């Protein structure tokens, strides 16, 4: 019985409770503190703010340039070190082993310096420091490679310059006949330039003989080219001079003078004829005007006679 009673109680449904919604209107009161208040900027505040912004932009730009220069220096170290090692056999002709070893050693030290964080290290160095270190190393390496290039180019440039000077001398011998427009003063100027270049080449060649291939050269192929530039400029200017007009034979000159004289005589005759025609026209015009005046006078006299006659008749009446 107790089980049945319990089952009955479980089976009995509980009455549903209704949900009630209570709405309460809330009052919102804005609270603004003095720190949260945004005030209008004054002229001074605006200038200070612009100045800070420009300073921040400049600092950011400098930082970017510094980082770019640092990365570039690091790549430069790897590249130069590789070039020196790859061309060691050729470079040995123009540089002692101590010089090349010192360059490799300094490049490795420069690479380590780039990662040093302490004061004076390259991790956070100034932009100018990176630039100065790169420039210094570039000059040292460039000096070796320049000596290597000039070892082959310099003798060729010297021989080519001497050939140009000889050729110029030979061409100048033909100017008196083939180019009469080139004066003796022009030829003298060219000779002076050739002599000056020849003297310079002789001096530099002797100076270079006393030097080793590992020393700084007495001159370079580019300097030889620059010396010849003045000669090329003068010769080009003289070759552009125009030839003088050929002189006419005496017979043609006399005929030209005769023709000019005849043309002058014709012009004078035309001018005199024109003056005569103008004078006759003036005379004819003045004659016509005189006849017109005479006719007017005759008509006036006749009119006066008729008036006198009329006056007499009126008096008689």
Concatenated DSSP letters for 3-24?
HHHHHHHHHSPPPPPPP-----
pLDDT at 69: 93
Within a domain: residue 124?
Answer: yes
Within a domain: residue 280?
Answer: no
Q: Tell me: do 157 and 187 sit in the same domain.
A: yes
User: Of the candidates 166, 189, 297, which has an alpha carbon nearest to the alpha carbon of residue 237?
Assistant: 189
What is the tally of structural domains in the chain?
2
pLDDT at 315: 43
User: Of the candidates 230, 225, 235, 224, which has an alpha carbon nearest to the alpha carbon of residue 170?
Assistant: 235
The CA distance from 16 to 14, in Å, is 6
> Among 146, 178, 193, where does a domain finish?
146
Q: Tell me: do 65 and 90 sit in the same domain.
A: yes
Q: Tell me: do 191 and 163 sit in the same domain.
A: yes
Domain of 94, CATH number, reads 1.20.1270.10
Within a domain: residue 115?
Answer: yes
> Among 81, 112, 146, where does a domain finish?
146
Q: Tell me: do 137 and 156 sit in the same domain.
A: no
Token duo for residue 31: 């609270």
Measured CA to CA in angstroms, residue 161 lies from 32, 220, 228 at distances of 90, 12, 7
Stretches in the chain below the pLDDT threshold 50: 3, 298, 310, 312-317
Q: Tell me: do 85 and 142 sit in the same domain.
A: yes
Residue given tokens 């160095």 in the structure block: 125
Within a domain: residue 294?
Answer: no
Q: Is 33 helix (H, G, I), strand (E, B) or coil?
A: coil
pLDDT at 106: 95
Q: Which residues contact 115 (CB under 8 A, 6 or more apart)?
A: 121, 122, 123
pLDDT at 297: 54
Token duo for residue 127: 């932009």
Within a domain: residue 38?
Answer: no
> Among 181, 213, 239, where does a domain finish?
239
Q: Tell me: do 176 and 194 sit in the same domain.
A: yes
Q: Tell me: do 142 and 157 sit in the same domain.
A: no
The vertex-18 CA angle with 12 and 21, nearest 5°, equals: 160
Domain that holds residue 177: 151-239
Within a domain: residue 3?
Answer: no
Q: Tell me: do 117 and 160 sit in the same domain.
A: no
pLDDT at 316: 41
Q: Tell me: do 137 and 157 sit in the same domain.
A: no
Within a domain: residue 137?
Answer: yes
Q: Tell me: do 129 and 188 sit in the same domain.
A: no
Within a domain: residue 89?
Answer: yes
Summarize pLDDT for 111-127 with one digit per residue, the tens.
Answer: 999 999 888 888 889 99
Q: Tell me: do 126 and 183 sit in the same domain.
A: no
- Phi, psi for residue 126 in degrees, rounded to 5: -75, 160
Q: Tell me: do 186 and 107 sit in the same domain.
A: no
pTM confidence score: 0.59
């Amino acid at each position: 019985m107790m089980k049945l009673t319990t089952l009955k109680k479980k089976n009995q449904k509980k009455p549903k409770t209704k949900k009630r919604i209570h709405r309460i209107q809330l009052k919102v009161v804005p609270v603004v503190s003095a720190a949260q208040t945004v005030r209008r900027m004054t002229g001074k505040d605006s200038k200070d703010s612009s100045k800070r912004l420009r300073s921040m932009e400049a600092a950011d730009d400098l930082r970017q340039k510094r980082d770019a220069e640092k990365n570039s220096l690091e790549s430069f170290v790897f590249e130069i070190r590789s070039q020196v090692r790859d061309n060691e056999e050729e470079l040995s002709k123009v540089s002692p082993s101590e010089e090349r070893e010192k360059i490799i050693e300094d490049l490795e030290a420069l690479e380590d310096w780039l990662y040093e964080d302490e004061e004076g290290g390259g991790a956070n160095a100034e932009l100018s420091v990176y630039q100065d270190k790169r420039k210094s190393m570039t000059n040292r390496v460039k000096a070796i490679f320049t000596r290597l290039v000039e070892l082959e180019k310099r003798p060729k440039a010297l021989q080519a310059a001497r050939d140009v000077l000889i050729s110029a001398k030979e061409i100048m011998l033909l100017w008196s006949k083939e180019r009469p427009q080139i004066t003796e003063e022009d030829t003298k100027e060219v000779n002076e330039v050739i002599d000056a270049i020849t003297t310079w080449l002789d001096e530099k060649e002797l100076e270079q003989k006393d030097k080793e291939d590992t020393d700084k050269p007495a001159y370079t192929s580019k300097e030889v080219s620059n010396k010849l530039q003045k000669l090329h400029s003068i010769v080009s200017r003289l070759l552009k001079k125009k030839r003088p007009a050929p002189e006419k034979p005496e017979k043609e000159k006399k005929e030209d003078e005769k023709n000019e004289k005849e043309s002058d005589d014709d012009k004078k005759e035309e001018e005199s004829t024109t003056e005569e025609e103008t004078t006759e026209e003036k005379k004819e015009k003045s004659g016509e005007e005189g006849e017109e005046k005479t006719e007017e006078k005759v008509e006036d006299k006749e009119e006066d006679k008729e008036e006198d006659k009329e006056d007499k008749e009126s008096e008689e009446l």
